[in-house]
Amino acid sequence: MRATTAAASPPPVITKPLRSPAAIAKRLVRLDPAFAPVVRAAGPFAPRPPSGDAFNALARAIAYQQLAGRAAAAIHGRFLAIYGTDPPTPDAVLASPVETLRAAGLSGAKAAALIDLATKISDGTIPLDQLASMPDDEVVARLTAVRGVGRWTAEMFLLFDLRRPDIWPVDDYGVRKGWTLIHGQAAMPTAKELTTLGDSLRPHRSAAAWYCWRAVDTLTP
Residues classed as catalytic: 172
**Contact status, residue 18 vs residue 195, Cβ threshold 8 Å:** no
Q: How far is CA 116 from CA 55, 93, 106, 205, in A?
A: 12, 10, 14, 31
Q: Which are the contacts of 184, defined by CB distance < 8 A and separation ≥ 6? A: 34
What's CA 142's distance to the chain center, in Å? 16
Instruction: Give the DSSP letter string of 34-89.
Output: GGHHHHHHH-S--PPPP-S-HHHHHHHHHHHTTS-HHHHHHHHHHHHHTTTTSPP-
Instruction: Give the DSSP letter string of 53-66.
Output: -HHHHHHHHHHHTT
d(C-alpha 94, C-alpha 98), whole Å: 9
Helix ranges, the chain (H)? 21-31, 36-42, 54-64, 69-81, 90-94, 98-103, 108-122, 136-143, 151-156, 173-182, 191-197, 205-219
φ and ψ of 53, to 5 deg: -135, 90
